[in-house]
Amino acid sequence: MDVHEYQAKELLARFNVPVPAGGLAYSPEQAAYRARELGGDAWVIKAQVHAGGRGKAGGVKLCRDRHEVWQAADGMLGHTLVTNQTGPAGKGVYRLLVEAGQNIARELYLGFVLDREHERIVIVGSDQGGMEIEEIARQHPESMHRRLVDPSVGLPAFQARDLAFALGFRGGEIAQAIKVIQGAYRAFRDLDATMVEINPLVVTQEGNVLVLDCKMQVDDNALYRRPEVADMRDRSQEDPRETHAVDRGLSYVGLDGQIGCIVNGAGLAMATLDMIKLAGGEPANFLDIGGGATPERVAEAFQLVRQDGEVKAILVNIFAGINRCDWVAQGIVQAVEQTGLDLPLVVRLSGTHVEEGRRILADSGLAITTAATLKEAAQKAVAALDGQSAAHTEVPA
């Protein structure tokens, strides 16, 4: 689960990580009031959306007086912000972070992620902050510094100090940098985060080390024990299809194709997407209905896939181990009858009670195309989609 920048900073502040003074605004008037509260002669207005690249898209504005603050807020709130990470649909802006301007002397990068190969948390730092980490790695590979953290020991001060020296902190900055590194690490660990990215981490002309911007992602599977983080969920920033799926215990990711996929198991789902691509098609989604594929669960998955107006054909690929093919078949028949499905439907069943499942589909009298293998199912789904497209483009006599 993603959280907004202001929420990530609130969480970091609980671990004694220094962040700029700021406040939230839901209207231009409130933004101007926040600026007056903060004082000073410069403020930064930031659109709060779950995406990077806001500055280039006009979602971050530096203002020199409260009238500029009002205008900047009015130009963002209620509008859609399109960045290189939002896709063409963009994200709606419904809240702003108003922060006091800083006299920036240096910008750095600091990130915490899971290194699955080494089964460790890895800290990635660079003295070239303010740009995407991919761009930093490409343009300034020599600036990248990595430190693996042993989970049985945690992050000791000497390791944080070593990284601080590598990043070029000097004098009184070092103690502050250690505080940021250790605090961010504790936040990552104690909040069950999967990513904490501080970019930029800045040194001001006054010699202060501050987190100027931060992104944080938290493991969805741990939210049950992190209610203070779960309450930060902003549904307005999520794909409504994915939100609908999560609320019903399904794993769904929307894609850009036209073949909807209903599969049990993440690995099988990935293989199904690959096979559709190899057959010349484009998958419309990743949908894992999990191990308990009851008829009701399968019917719910059909409803979810149908919500995508771009879907022109559906492929169901079930390997029943814990599941039962007859239950899945019942769910398919139930879903087709309830929704009046008018799209090509290809079903491949394998595993427990497969013969009974195939019999249920055959006896239903519904227009369901069956397949014995995944390759055959993908080819039939693509062929059905191509046939439908040809029918729609045919000119009547």
Residue 156: predicted pLDDT: 95
Residue 245: predicted pLDDT: 66
Is 309 or 397 the better-scoring residue by pLDDT? 309
Q: In what order do the strands lie in the sheet with 60-63?
A: 22-25, 96-100, 43-47, 60-63
Residue 213 contacts residue 48 (beta carbons within 8 Å): no
pLDDT in tens, 115-129: 989 999 999 999 999
State the Cα–Cα distance between residues 126 and 98, nearest whole angstrom. Answer: 27
Do residues 139 and 193 share a domain? yes
Residue 171: predicted pLDDT: 94
Q: 392 falls in which pLDDT band (50, 70, 90)?
A: very low
The residue whose two tokens read 């989970």 is 151
Do residues 267 and 377 share a domain? yes
Is 107 or 397 the better-scoring residue by pLDDT? 107
Do residues 246 and 358 share a domain? yes
Give, in order, the Cα–Cα distances in Å from 293 to each of 17, 40, 346, 383: 45, 59, 18, 27
Q: What is the DSSP string of 109-172?
A: EEEEEEETTTTEEEEEEES--SS-HHHHHHH-GGG-EEEEE-TTT---HHHHHHHHHHTT--TT
- List binding-site positions for ATP: 46, 53-55, 99, 102, 107
With a cut of 90, say whether residue 202 has pLDDT above it.
Answer: yes
State the Cα–Cα distance between residues 314 and 182, nearest whole angstrom. Answer: 49
Residue 29: predicted pLDDT: 97
Residue 396: predicted pLDDT: 47
Strand partners, 345: 314
Question: Which whole number is the average pLDDT over 264-275?
Answer: 92
Rounded to the nearest integer, the mean pLDDT of the chain is 90
- List binding-site positions for substrate: 264
With a cut of 70, say whether residue 107 has pLDDT above it.
Answer: yes
Listed in order, strand segments (DSSP E) in 48-102 are: 60-63, 80-81, 91-92, 96-100
Residue 393: predicted pLDDT: 43
Last residue in a domain, options 238, 253, 270 = 238
Do residues 15 and 38 share a domain? no
Helix 325-339 to helix 354-363 angle (10° resolution) is 20
pLDDT in tens, 18-69: 999 999 999 999 999 999 999 999 999 999 999 888 988 999 999 999 999 9
139 token code pair: 């343009």
The residue whose two tokens read 């985060």 is 193
Residue 214 contacts residue 5 (beta carbons within 8 Å): yes
Do residues 11 and 26 share a domain? no
Do residues 229 and 265 share a domain? no
Task: Please name the residues in contact with 340: beta carbons below 8 A apart, sequence gap of 6 or more.
Answer: none
pLDDT in tens, 168-177: 999 999 999 9
Residue 202 contacts residue 180 (beta carbons within 8 Å): no
Do residues 167 and 67 share a domain? no
356 token code pair: 């009974």
With a cut of 50, say whether residue 394 has pLDDT above it.
Answer: no
pLDDT in tens, 348-380: 999 999 999 999 999 999 999 999 999 999 999
Most distant pair of Cα atoms in the chain: their distance: 84
Do residues 78 and 171 share a domain? no
Do residues 92 and 195 share a domain? no
Residue 321: predicted pLDDT: 80
Residue 385: predicted pLDDT: 87
Do residues 217 and 320 share a domain? no
Residue 331: predicted pLDDT: 86
List active site positions: 109, 197
- List binding-site positions: 46, 53-55, 99, 102, 107, 199, 213, 264
Range of the domain at 151: 1-20+103-238
CATH number of the domain enclosing 84:
3.30.1490.20
Number of domains in the chain: 3
CATH number of the domain enclosing 208:
3.30.470.20
Helix (H) or strand (E) holding 261, with range, is: strand 259-263
Q: 389 falls in which pLDDT band (50, 70, 90)?
A: low
Last residue in a domain, options 223, 238, 253 = 238
Residue 388: predicted pLDDT: 63
Residue 397: predicted pLDDT: 40
pLDDT in tens, 152-168: 899 999 999 999 999 99
With a cut of 70, say whether residue 133 has pLDDT above it.
Answer: yes
Residue 395: predicted pLDDT: 43
With a cut of 80, say whether residue 204 has pLDDT above it.
Answer: yes
With a cut of 80, say whether residue 295 has pLDDT above it.
Answer: no
Do residues 190 and 85 share a domain? no
Phi, psi of 146 (to 5 degrees): -120, 140
Question: Which whole number is the average pLDDT over 81-102?
Answer: 90
Residue 296: predicted pLDDT: 76
The residue whose two tokens read 């046939």 is 387
pLDDT in tens, 214-265: 999 999 889 999 999 999 988 887 766 666 666 666 778 888 899 999 998 8
Residue 209 contacts residue 180 (beta carbons within 8 Å): yes
State the Cα–Cα distance between residues 378 and 375, nearest whole angstrom. Answer: 5
Last residue in a domain, options 101, 116, 139 = 101
CATH number of the domain enclosing 254:
3.40.50.261
State the Cα–Cα distance between residues 328 and 158, nearest whole angstrom. Answer: 56
- List binding-site positions for Mg(2+): 199, 213
pLDDT in tens, 309-362: 889 999 999 998 877 899 889 888 988 888 788 889 999 999 999 999 999 999
* pTM for the model: 0.76
State the Cα–Cα distance between residues 379 and 389, nearest whole angstrom. Answer: 15
Residue 149: predicted pLDDT: 95
Phi, psi of 387 (to 5 degrees): -65, -40
Do residues 113 and 166 share a domain? yes
